[in-house]
Structure 1
Amino acid sequence: MSLSFKNYTVLVADDSRLVTSSITALLKQLGCEQIHCAYKPLEVLAKCRQNQFDFIICDYNFQSQINGFQLLEELNHLNLLPARTVFMFLTGENDLRIVRSIIDAEPDDYLLKPFKNQFFVDRLTNAIRRKLALLPIYEQLTKHDYYGVIEACKECLETRPEYSKLIRKFKANALVRCKEYRSARTEYEEMLSEDNFDWIKTALANTFIETDEVNRAKEILDTVNNKDENPYYHDEMSNIAVLNNDLPQAINHLKQSAMLLDSGAERELVIANLSLANQSYGDAVTYMTRYFDKNKNTFRGNVYTQLNLVRCHLYKAMGIKNKSLFDRQLQMLNPFIDEVRKRESLDHAYRMIISHIALIRGDLSSAINELKSVMQQIKNMHFYDIYHLGYLLERCSYFNEVKQILPQCRIAMDENQHPSILRSQTHMLLSFESRLQGAIEEVETLRKQVTEATINAGDSKAITQYVDIYFRLHELSPNSRRLCIAIVRFIAQYPFEYNGNYKIFDKIKECHEVIVKLMTEEELAEANYLPQYEIAKKNITLVIEK
């Protein structure tokens, strides 16, 4: 049955007026009467808000701020594409990175320019027929009702068997979305028995990864052809590395995957998350910056992405020595920080930024004061908020408070987000919990050693060992006022020759700075602290090895 194009409403989008004119002329020959043209992505969005199109023929590589991949994502995010709308990409690029990105965007079809008119007509006609035949599936996909997708697939398999391979693909993907991994696995295994396609292998491997059957997943991925050039192979190998707690390998695979695509939704975000889990803050800044730059003109480039970009910069700056360099970096971040400040709902996030900046500048008292008010707002926080709060509390040596809030971090994870993002957040949390637990256990061991030690005046060797235990405690809990006072008071008790592992005068100066920042003048006087600090410095004699 031939299609009648007369009543179709069409949008042709390309930054070349020559291309839009030639396609418009061709569509008119087919009988189309209602043809709209757009020359920029924002015009496409505007026209889709005003009209419901039967099909959209869209260039991929606009010479503008967003490309075709991002435009299609934006249209879907804004619910501007009805289920019946056919979306077809055109591109003059044969760069494999772009072609892979087009496939990754999942349009109804795509064509490489130049093409013959009849070839274009045939592909468009087939895409329209396919969309109409499988409309019940697309309607459920538009509503994100994946159980509904499964039921629609069952019906369409009976009524439209000529599209069985595509229907089974939809069904298997919907089963994965519903976390019915074993059922999805059965579908993929049946498809693989008929067609030896790599996309089926990577999808099948993913079902084993989701059920922690890593060895079987690896066996399947080993059969993938041309692994180096397959981004989905690297995605799944990254997932395996994450499950094996090999975060550097996971990050490396994702970097390779991102390099193979011109665009992509979440890979850079996942790399940034895994880098934070690995405490590789430089990489976290690099890939969060790429994620923001790539998406700043889309729905992903919102204030929350700006907020996480600021956080990554602050994590990296925590150990910075050059304060003027930090001030210059902060000047670059100020527009993003100001956007956070303007949002009343993000008051807690803004206060944490101010606290973090205060910590970097050495203003411990201000940092802690900001955190006190934030602690009252934890019920309204997202995952990244609570993670940031935990990080700051850890830096302020509030280990018990960190231990109390981390379970809230797990609760705050969105189970409906992309599995790779969820895994990366899980590893951010697991890494944090492991680091915290290790620190707490070491602190308990060191405190026990301090409690059980017997110190005699004049025994410089024993005093040195005791002081080094205290200094290791200080490394683990550098901003504990109680610990810093204990260190200064102990050293003030005994004159001794120090021959230990630390720069002792630097260490007691660090302790002193914490104490004077966290105590008022009245408290210092009442504790008779300053005279003790002077005595402590005089009590130390450095042993110079010959």
Structure 2
Amino acid sequence: MLGKLKYLIIDDSSSFLALARSILVQAGISNDRITATADSHKALRLLHQTKYDVVLCDYNMNCNIDGGLILDEVRQLQLQAADGVFLCVTGDNTRDVVNHFIEMEPDDYLTKPFRYIDFVKRLTKVVKRKQAMKPILQALAKRQHQQVLDMIHAPSNELKPYRGYLNRIHGDCLLRLQKHQQAVEFFQRQNQKLIWPKLGLSQALQGLGRFDEAEVILKTLLNNQPNNPQIHRDLATCIMLKEEYPRALSQFEELNEISPANPLRQVVIANLCSVLGHYDQAAVQFEKYALKVKGSHRYSLQLHIHSYQCLIFAALNGGEPQQRHRLLTQAKERLLALRNPLEQPLDSESEACFAAASALIALLEGNIEICFALCSRLQQAQLANLNFYTLINLCTLFGICGMTEEFQHCVKLASNCCEKNDDDDLLVSQIKLLKHRQLEVQQRLSSGSTLAESCLTQYQGGQFELALKQGIEAFFLVPFHHRLSLALLELLALKLETSHEPNQLQAIAKSALWVYLNDSRPDVDQKRKAKALYQQIIEQVDNDSNVVCQAG
């Protein structure tokens, strides 16, 4: 059985590579059927080129691409056949490593050093099981969950020894098919001394919207197994579905301490930070994830760009002017550092991502003309291939700029992106983030409109300094407001006291003029008046600068 298979050994220890090869040869496997490498990146290339029947992979590689990421690559891209075997080996049996094995579920794992007889026995057992279950595993890989249930209901004799595995697959298929009531009844019939039926029952109850009941089950399990990552993960997801985001974030962070090796969890944590408006913290988590998975299929330049766009959103959502300036400067520096070393021309999707970031920066800096020019370019871009994070950033950009049709289109595309996820936690967190981003844009526009009307009221009442303060604040929330733009030009021409620097006031005046002149509602005389006001403001700023120079 073992002699007909192809093997790949991955380990950063040359002595272990030689030992593992020796063990396989001793087990009757021809040397030409064995490939070995100490390089994680080379291992990924080999896996993309050849379908190995058995992969023996070290967990702790001397590289950011560890055994967990290699297994993830194999599964997500189906680099092994359905009956392929993936064995993890490690010399580290600490809680963190064991918890990650529990989460990622390789076909088996061994702790170094191990005996020849134990290795061959366990390998043979796994190969035999996966070959017997091959038709079911093939259907699962194609997400043919109803077909899998049909095969389980009529098992062959060779499947009977694997009833425990089949029951777990049965329950998972019911959940995937959203047959939640059937799933509740199925899990309740299973052996309640085992943990998986209780986890499955809690998931089925969540599917029925019975979150409190599910939470009680999970907390009871957690009392008995406080370090079990699967229980923590299901509890965190349950709380997230209840939209209790601070609790959910706390639970995922606790899970990350118990089992820190799963990088995808950093994206979930980053999404929840974003939902709570903690964009600076989200930026840190997204960047950690991007650097961790670089070189694997999980890496995305668009997501790496998004990690720095979070700094822009931190600036967009409040804070003192100095803090906003610091965040924007930091975002621009990091985006530039990310783009400059790229040797190959960027694909259109990454160009669109950089353009969205540049447009948001221009908006925050008051360069409305540049922002609108970039928006017009993005209107013509092919958006269908953009990833979720670029799309939600475009949602914000188009929403703030009043481009309703484009906003709704990006919301729909982002929603479609969510549905392609195979990780339940990531799927739920992205859905919640999209919902929050829509609400955030609506609240921003509502607050901006209210503030703009207050500015106009204060202006009419002769409260000029308060009107100017509110007008500038409103302009950064709802820049495409022609009455506000004219009021700002009139107020700035009065040369009022303000905390803004002259160059900032000049940029605001220039943008206000551009908005007003490009609006179809003002007539020719009104636009002529706006130009005259702008010229007056520029002359005042120049005169003030000359006075400062002479005084110096």
TM superposition score category, shorter chain reference: 0.7 to 0.9
2:429 pairs, out of 404, 424, 429, with 424
- The answer for the alignment partner of 2:319 in structure 1 is none
**Do the aligned partners of residues 249 and 399 (structure 1) sit closer, same or farther apart at CA in structure 2, a change above 3 Å counting?**
farther
Range moving further from structure 2, 139-148 or 415-424: 139-148
* Residues 409 and 429 in structure 1, CA contact (< 8 A), matched pair in contact too: no
Q: Does 1:219 pair with 2:216?
A: yes
The CA distance in 1 between the partners of 2:456 and 2:71, in whole Å, is 65
Q: Does 1:320 pair with 2:324?
A: yes
- The answer for the alignment partner of 1:268 in structure 2 is 266
Please list, as runs of the form range in 1=range in 2, the aligned pairs for 1:120-519 lying within 5 A after superposition: 120-156=119-155, 160-191=159-190, 193-197=191-195, 199-226=196-223, 228-264=226-262, 266-316=264-314, 318=316, 320-322=324-326, 325=330, 327-335=332-340, 338=342, 342-377=346-381, 380=384, 381-395=386-400, 397-398=401-402, 404-405=408-409, 407-409=411-413, 411-417=415-421, 418-442=423-447, 473-474=474-475, 476-477=477-478, 480-489=481-490, 506=500, 513-519=507-513
Structure 1 position 60, deviation (Å): 1.8
Deviation track 1:3-52 (CA, whole Å, cap 9, x = no partner) reads x5443433333332332333333333332224414132344344445554
Structure 1 position 124, deviation (Å): 1.7
Structure 1 position 379, deviation (Å): 5.2
The CA distance in 2 between the partners of 1:410 and 1:263, in whole Å, is 28
* Residues 489 and 534 in structure 2, CA contact (< 8 A), matched pair in contact too: no
**Do the aligned partners of residues 466 and 167 (structure 1) sit closer, same or farther apart at CA in structure 2, a change above 3 Å counting?**
same
Structure 1 position 90, deviation (Å): 1.4
The CA distance in 2 between the partners of 1:513 and 1:20, in whole Å, is 64
The CA distance in 2 between the partners of 1:100 and 1:231, in whole Å, is 6
Structure 1 position 295, deviation (Å): 0.7
The CA distance in 1 between the partners of 2:493 and 2:20, in whole Å, is 87
> SS at 2:80's partner residue?
coil
- For 1:349, give the aligned amino acid: C
Structure 1 position 249, deviation (Å): 2.0
- The answer for the alignment partner of 1:81 in structure 2 is 80
Range moving further from structure 2, 199-208 or 398-407: 398-407
Structure 1 position 70, deviation (Å): 0.9
The CA distance in 2 between the partners of 1:301 and 1:415, in whole Å, is 19
The CA distance in 1 between the partners of 2:539 and 2:333, in whole Å, is 40
Range moving further from structure 2, 342-351 or 443-452: 443-452
The CA distance in 1 between the partners of 2:161 and 2:5, in whole Å, is 25
Structure 1 position 406, deviation (Å): 5.9
The CA distance in 1 between the partners of 2:45 and 2:459, in whole Å, is 78
Gaps of 5+ in 1: 538-546
Q: Does 1:11 pair with 2:8?
A: yes
- For 2:212, give the aligned amino acid: N
CA RMSD of aligned residues (A): 3.8
Q: Does 1:33 pair with 2:30?
A: yes
* Residues 302 and 353 in structure 2, CA contact (< 8 A), matched pair in contact too: no
**Do the aligned partners of residues 522 and 114 (structure 1) sit closer, same or farther apart at CA in structure 2, a change above 3 Å counting?**
closer
**Do the aligned partners of residues 522 and 175 (structure 1) sit closer, same or farther apart at CA in structure 2, a change above 3 Å counting?**
closer
Range moving further from structure 2, 465-474 or 290-299: 465-474
Deviation track 1:356-378 (CA, whole Å, cap 9, x = no partner) reads 34335443321111112212447
Range moving further from structure 2, 150-159 or 118-127: 150-159
> SS at 1:88's partner residue?
strand
- For 2:486, give the aligned amino acid: I
- For 2:30, give the aligned amino acid: E
TM-score (norm 2): 0.80
* Residues 14 and 58 in structure 1, CA contact (< 8 A), matched pair in contact too: yes
TM-score (norm 1): 0.81
* Residues 314 and 357 in structure 1, CA contact (< 8 A), matched pair in contact too: yes
- For 1:253, give the aligned amino acid: Q
> SS at 2:69's partner residue?
helix
Deviation track 1:136-194 (CA, whole Å, cap 9, x = no partner) reads 22222333433333233333376522211111111222232333333333333323x44
Structure 1 position 405, deviation (Å): 4.7
The CA distance in 1 between the partners of 2:437 and 2:51, in whole Å, is 48
The CA distance in 2 between the partners of 1:114 and 1:47, in whole Å, is 26
* Residues 156 and 167 in structure 1, CA contact (< 8 A), matched pair in contact too: no
The CA distance in 1 between the partners of 2:346 and 2:539, in whole Å, is 50
The CA distance in 2 between the partners of 1:522 and 1:215, in whole Å, is 54
The CA distance in 2 between the partners of 1:147 and 1:399, in whole Å, is 43
The CA distance in 1 between the partners of 2:37 and 2:266, in whole Å, is 29
> SS at 1:56's partner residue?
strand
Structure 1 position 131, deviation (Å): 1.5
* Residues 209 and 217 in structure 1, CA contact (< 8 A), matched pair in contact too: yes
The CA distance in 1 between the partners of 2:369 and 2:404, in whole Å, is 19
The CA distance in 2 between the partners of 1:148 and 1:486, in whole Å, is 67
- The answer for the alignment partner of 2:116 in structure 1 is 117
* Residues 492 and 532 in structure 1, CA contact (< 8 A), matched pair in contact too: yes
Residue identity (%): 22
**Do the aligned partners of residues 301 and 406 (structure 1) sit closer, same or farther apart at CA in structure 2, a change above 3 Å counting?**
closer
Q: Does 1:529 pair with 2:536?
A: no
Range moving further from structure 2, 304-313 or 462-471: 462-471
Aligned length: 519
Q: Does 1:106 pair with 2:105?
A: yes
Structure 1 position 483, deviation (Å): 0.8
Range moving further from structure 2, 151-160 or 33-42: 151-160
